[in-house]
């Protein structure tokens, strides 16, 4: 007799229903089976409170219904929002998500990839910062905003167009002297195309622009120094600034305001991401919004719809401009 504290197995169900293992398996997997058999099995499953053992199934089928999400952090609202949408998408399709946080550490990122391999997830959706991760071609991977190598599909918003849009907006607001500020680690990422698009548009329209590129996190000091140097007698030299993230934009705005600069009176500032503050629903600055839900949907689609063949495909989704005074809600 089976101990009552151990969960029931298919064998128990089969015995209870008076059928064979194969029949139980068929019922569970929705394979057609004689009416009376199906009923007996379903009844037995109910009575015993049977649940399939995912690990036995995974062992046999080599399918786990599990996708690993590799994210740098959930502190940043963009990552959190993205993870939220990805998980929702995956659950809708009957997949579970295995969450891994790397804290921007390349070593941790590589470790995650190794873990994923050994955990036999069905796939990986990753947003990473290590320039040269060993992507395992044995496992389907989709990256977000990053090029691991050119056989790994990458989903992102249309960063180039976003940069162009930022330039257009600043110029159409009457700005004459533009500045592009970029912060963050060096990556072969789509996000770098924000600057390219911006510069291209500036050149195309014959606008005066400068760029300030910092290849590290958390080193804002040089930016503040630069801004100070270009603040002649309290009058800022630049009247339009494009920052590569919203939080950088917010800090730049705070810094300039502390120096007595009127924003947006004297200087226009545009950020990138389009995340509103949760509490107030307000945007900290004018911004280029990324279609997060659509990015998540697309990443999941590419990962799971194996019938479509993707080879190093890049998927650039449409962006949108949001002025600072906007409130979400």
Q: How many chain residues interact with a copy of itself (CB under 8 A)?
A: 53
316 DSSP β-pair partners:
156
Site residues for a copy of itself, 68-127, by CB under 8 A, read 69, 73-77, 80-81, 83-84, 87-88, 91, 96-101, 103, 114-115, 117-120
Tell me the DSSP string of 270-313: EEEE-PPPTTT-B-SSEEEEP-HHHHHHHHHHHHH-TTS--SS-
| Distance in Å, CB of 95 to a copy of itself, minimum | 11
CA–CA distance, 183 with 120 (Å, rounded to integer): 35
List CB contacts of 82: < 8 A, sequence separation 6 or more. 71, 127, 144, 292, 295, 296
| Distance in Å, CB of 87 to a copy of itself, minimum | 5
Q: How many CB atoms lie within 10 A of CB 168?
A: 17
CA–CA distance, 185 with 216 (Å, rounded to integer): 4
Residue 11 or 314 having the CB closest to DNA: 11
Going through the chain in order, the beta strands assigned E by DSSP cover 66-71, 96-101, 123-126, 141-144, 154-157, 177-182, 208-213, 231-232, 235-236, 240-243, 268-273, 286-289, 314-317, 320-322
Residue 62 or 232 having the CB closest to DNA: 62
Site residues for a copy of itself, 282-321, by CB under 8 A, read 284-285
Choose which of 254, 260, 306, 323 interacts with a copy of itself (CB under 8 A). Answer: 254
Site map (CB under 8 A) of a copy of itself, residues 169-198, x = contact: ------------------------------
| Distance in Å, CB of 279 to a copy of itself, minimum | 4
Three-state secondary structure readout of 72-113: CCCCCHHHHHHHHHHHHHHHHCCCEEEEEECCCCHHHHHHHH
Q: C-alpha distances in angstroms, 247 versus 68, 77, 157, 285, 307?
A: 27, 10, 18, 9, 39
Stretch that binds a copy of itself, among 67-75, 145-153, 260-268, 301-309 (CB under 8 A): 67-75
∠ at Cα 92 (90, 96), nearest 5°?
40
Q: Are 271 and 243 in contact, with CB atoms under 8 Å apart?
A: yes
42 binds a copy of itself (CB under 8 A): no
Phi–psi pair at 103, nearest 5 degrees: 55, 35
Site map (CB under 8 A) of a copy of itself, residues 211-240, x = contact: ------------------------------
Which residues contact DNA by CB under 7 A?
6-7, 9-11, 19-26, 28-29, 32-34, 37, 50-53, 56-57, 59-61
Which of a copy of itself, DNA, none does residue 117 bind (CB under 5 to 8 Å by kind)?
A: a copy of itself
| Distance in Å, CB of 114 to DNA, minimum | 15
Choose which of 2, 7, 219, 228 interacts with a copy of itself (CB under 8 A). Answer: 7
The site for a copy of itself (CB under 8 A) is made up of 7, 51-56, 58-59, 64, 66, 69, 73-77, 80-81, 83-84, 87-88, 91, 96-101, 103, 114-115, 117-120, 138, 246-247, 249-251, 254, 271, 275, 277-281, 284-285
């Amino acid at each position: 007799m089976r101990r009552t504290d151990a969960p029931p197995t298919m064998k128990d169900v089969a015995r209870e229903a008076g059928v064979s293992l194969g029949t139980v398996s068929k019922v569970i997997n929705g394979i057609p089976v004689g009416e009376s058999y199906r009923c007996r099995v379903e009844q037995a499953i109910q009575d015993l409170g049977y649940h399939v053992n995912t690990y036995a199934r995974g062992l046999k089928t080599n399918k786990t219904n599990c996708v690993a999400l590799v994210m740098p952090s959930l502190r940043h609202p963009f990552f959190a929002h993205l993870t939220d949408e990805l998980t929702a998408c995956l659950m809708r399709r009957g997949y579970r998500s295995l969450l891994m946080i790397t804290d921007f550490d390349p070593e941790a990122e590589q470790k995650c990839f190794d873990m994923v391999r050994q955990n036999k997830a069905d796939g990986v959706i990753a947003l990473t910062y290590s320039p040269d991760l060993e992507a395992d071609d044995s496992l389907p991977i989709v990256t977000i905003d990053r090029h691991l190598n050119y056989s790994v599909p990458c989903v992102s918003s249309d960063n180039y167009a976003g940069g162009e849009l930022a330039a257009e907006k600043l110029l159409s607001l009457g700005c004459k002297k533009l500045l592009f500020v970029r912060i963050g680690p060096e990556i072969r990422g789509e996000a770098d195309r924000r600057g390219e698009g911006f510069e291209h548009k500036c050149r195309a329209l014959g606008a005066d622009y400068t760029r300030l590129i910092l290849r590290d996190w958390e080193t804002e000091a040089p930016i503040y120094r630069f801004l100070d140097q270009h603040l002649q007698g309290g009058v800022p030299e630049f009247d339009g600034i494009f920052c590569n993230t919203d939080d950088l934009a917010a800090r730049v705005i705070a810094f300039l305001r502390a120096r007595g600069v009127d924003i947006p009176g004297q200087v226009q500032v545009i950020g990138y991401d389009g995340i509103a503050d949760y509490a107030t629903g307000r945007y900290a600055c004018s911004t280029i919004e990324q279609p997060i839900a659509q990015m998540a949907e697309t990443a999941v689609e590419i990962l799971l719809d194996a019938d479509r063949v993707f080879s190093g495909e890049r998927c650039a989704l449409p962006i949108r401009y949001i002025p600072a005074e906007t409130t979400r809600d």
